[in-house]
Structure 1
Amino acid sequence: MIQHFHFKPLFENSQLPGWVITFYYKQQYYKAEYNKDGSIKWIGIKPSEEELVAVEKMIHELMLFHVYD
Protein backbone atom coordinates (compact mmCIF):
# COMPACT_ATOMS: atom_id res chain seq x y z
CA MET A 1 0.00 0.00 0.00
CA ILE A 2 1.24 3.47 -0.87
CA GLN A 3 1.63 5.81 2.10
CA HIS A 4 2.24 9.56 2.45
CA PHE A 5 1.37 10.25 -1.19
CA HIS A 6 2.11 13.85 -2.24
CA PHE A 7 2.01 15.60 -5.59
CA LYS A 8 2.82 19.09 -6.81
CA PRO A 9 2.82 20.69 -10.26
CA LEU A 10 6.03 20.45 -12.28
CA PHE A 11 5.61 24.00 -13.57
CA GLU A 12 4.81 27.31 -11.85
CA ASN A 13 1.98 27.82 -14.32
CA SER A 14 -0.32 25.13 -12.97
CA GLN A 15 -2.23 25.17 -16.27
CA LEU A 16 0.57 23.03 -17.74
CA PRO A 17 0.10 19.37 -16.88
CA GLY A 18 2.75 17.34 -15.13
CA TRP A 19 3.41 16.58 -11.47
CA VAL A 20 6.18 15.48 -9.15
CA ILE A 21 4.93 12.68 -6.94
CA THR A 22 6.49 11.29 -3.79
CA PHE A 23 5.40 8.41 -1.58
CA TYR A 24 6.48 5.48 0.55
CA TYR A 25 5.89 1.88 -0.47
CA LYS A 26 7.02 -0.94 1.81
CA GLN A 27 9.06 1.51 3.88
CA GLN A 28 10.98 2.75 0.80
CA TYR A 29 10.78 6.37 -0.40
CA TYR A 30 10.06 6.94 -4.10
CA LYS A 31 9.97 10.01 -6.31
CA ALA A 32 8.76 10.29 -9.89
CA GLU A 33 7.34 12.59 -12.55
CA TYR A 34 3.76 11.89 -13.57
CA ASN A 35 2.96 13.18 -17.05
CA LYS A 36 -0.42 14.14 -18.49
CA ASP A 37 -0.46 11.00 -20.66
CA GLY A 38 -0.14 8.83 -17.56
CA SER A 39 3.49 7.93 -18.11
CA ILE A 40 5.71 7.79 -15.05
CA LYS A 41 9.40 8.73 -15.11
CA TRP A 42 11.12 7.47 -11.99
CA ILE A 43 13.64 9.72 -10.26
CA GLY A 44 16.20 7.62 -8.46
CA ILE A 45 15.15 4.11 -7.55
CA LYS A 46 11.96 2.47 -8.78
CA PRO A 47 9.98 -0.50 -7.46
CA SER A 48 11.11 -3.98 -8.41
CA GLU A 49 9.88 -5.37 -11.73
CA GLU A 50 7.54 -7.73 -9.86
CA GLU A 51 5.86 -4.84 -8.02
CA LEU A 52 6.07 -2.13 -10.70
CA VAL A 53 2.70 -2.85 -12.37
CA ALA A 54 0.84 -2.88 -9.04
CA VAL A 55 2.52 0.34 -7.82
CA GLU A 56 1.83 2.16 -11.10
CA LYS A 57 -1.83 1.09 -10.93
CA MET A 58 -2.11 2.54 -7.40
CA ILE A 59 -0.47 5.79 -8.57
CA HIS A 60 -2.92 6.11 -11.49
CA GLU A 61 -5.86 5.60 -9.14
CA LEU A 62 -4.57 8.22 -6.69
CA MET A 63 -3.93 10.75 -9.46
CA LEU A 64 -7.40 10.19 -10.90
CA PHE A 65 -8.89 10.80 -7.48
CA HIS A 66 -6.80 13.86 -6.52
CA VAL A 67 -6.12 15.64 -9.81
CA TYR A 68 -8.68 14.66 -12.40
CA ASP A 69 -11.76 14.51 -10.17
Structure 2
Amino acid sequence: MLTHFQFKPLYENNQMPGWRFSFYYQKQKLTGIYYSDGKIEWTGVKPPSTEEEATLFSRIHELMLYHVYD
Protein backbone atom coordinates (compact mmCIF):
# COMPACT_ATOMS: atom_id res chain seq x y z
CA MET A 1 0.00 0.00 0.00
CA LEU A 2 1.19 3.51 -0.81
CA THR A 3 1.11 5.96 2.06
CA HIS A 4 1.84 9.67 2.37
CA PHE A 5 1.78 10.27 -1.40
CA GLN A 6 2.95 13.80 -2.25
CA PHE A 7 3.75 15.58 -5.49
CA LYS A 8 4.87 19.02 -6.61
CA PRO A 9 5.62 20.62 -9.99
CA LEU A 10 9.03 19.86 -11.42
CA TYR A 11 9.41 23.42 -12.71
CA GLU A 12 8.47 26.61 -10.89
CA ASN A 13 6.70 28.29 -13.80
CA ASN A 14 4.44 25.27 -14.47
CA GLN A 15 4.89 25.80 -18.23
CA MET A 16 6.68 22.50 -18.67
CA PRO A 17 4.79 19.52 -17.32
CA GLY A 18 6.47 17.19 -14.89
CA TRP A 19 6.15 16.45 -11.20
CA ARG A 20 8.33 15.16 -8.38
CA PHE A 21 6.61 12.64 -6.18
CA SER A 22 7.33 10.71 -3.02
CA PHE A 23 5.57 8.10 -0.95
CA TYR A 24 6.21 5.27 1.46
CA TYR A 25 5.92 1.66 0.39
CA GLN A 26 6.68 -1.19 2.78
CA LYS A 27 8.23 1.26 5.28
CA GLN A 28 10.63 2.59 2.63
CA LYS A 29 10.52 6.06 1.07
CA LEU A 30 10.44 6.05 -2.73
CA THR A 31 10.89 9.14 -4.88
CA GLY A 32 10.71 9.85 -8.56
CA ILE A 33 9.66 12.09 -11.42
CA TYR A 34 6.39 11.69 -13.28
CA TYR A 35 6.45 13.06 -16.83
CA SER A 36 3.39 14.21 -18.79
CA ASP A 37 3.65 11.21 -21.13
CA GLY A 38 3.19 8.86 -18.14
CA LYS A 39 6.86 7.89 -17.90
CA ILE A 40 8.23 7.47 -14.39
CA GLU A 41 11.87 7.90 -13.47
CA TRP A 42 12.96 6.74 -10.02
CA THR A 43 15.29 9.23 -8.32
CA GLY A 44 16.07 7.21 -5.24
CA VAL A 45 15.64 3.61 -4.24
CA LYS A 46 13.80 1.51 -6.81
CA PRO A 47 10.96 -0.86 -5.91
CA PRO A 48 12.16 -4.27 -4.70
CA SER A 49 10.92 -6.31 -7.69
CA THR A 50 9.76 -5.92 -11.27
CA GLU A 51 6.24 -7.04 -10.36
CA GLU A 52 5.97 -4.48 -7.57
CA GLU A 53 7.37 -1.79 -9.86
CA ALA A 54 4.62 -2.51 -12.42
CA THR A 55 1.98 -2.31 -9.68
CA LEU A 56 3.41 0.96 -8.38
CA PHE A 57 3.52 2.44 -11.92
CA SER A 58 -0.18 1.74 -12.23
CA ARG A 59 -1.03 3.23 -8.82
CA ILE A 60 1.10 6.33 -9.34
CA HIS A 61 -0.43 6.89 -12.77
CA GLU A 62 -3.95 6.66 -11.29
CA LEU A 63 -3.08 9.09 -8.50
CA MET A 64 -1.53 11.58 -10.90
CA LEU A 65 -4.51 11.41 -13.24
CA TYR A 66 -6.83 12.07 -10.32
CA HIS A 67 -4.84 14.92 -8.73
CA VAL A 68 -3.27 16.67 -11.72
CA TYR A 69 -5.48 16.08 -14.73
CA ASP A 70 -8.89 16.04 -13.05
Normalized against structure 2, the TM-score is what? 0.93
> RMSD of the alignment, in Å?
0.8
- Taking the aligned partners of 2:44 and 2:31, their CA distance within structure 1 comes to 7
Q: Which runs of 5+ in 1 are unaligned?
A: none
| TM-score normalised by structure 1 residue count | 0.94
Alignment of 1:34-53 (within 5 A): 34-47=34-47, 48-53=49-54
Task: Work out the number of aligned pairs and report it.
Answer: 69
Residues 34-62 of structure 1: CA distance to partner in whole angstroms, max 9, x if unpaired?
00000000012111212111011000000
Hey, what's the Cα distance between the residues in 2 that align with 1:32 and 1:39? 10
What 5-or-longer segments of structure 2 have no aligned partner? Answer: none
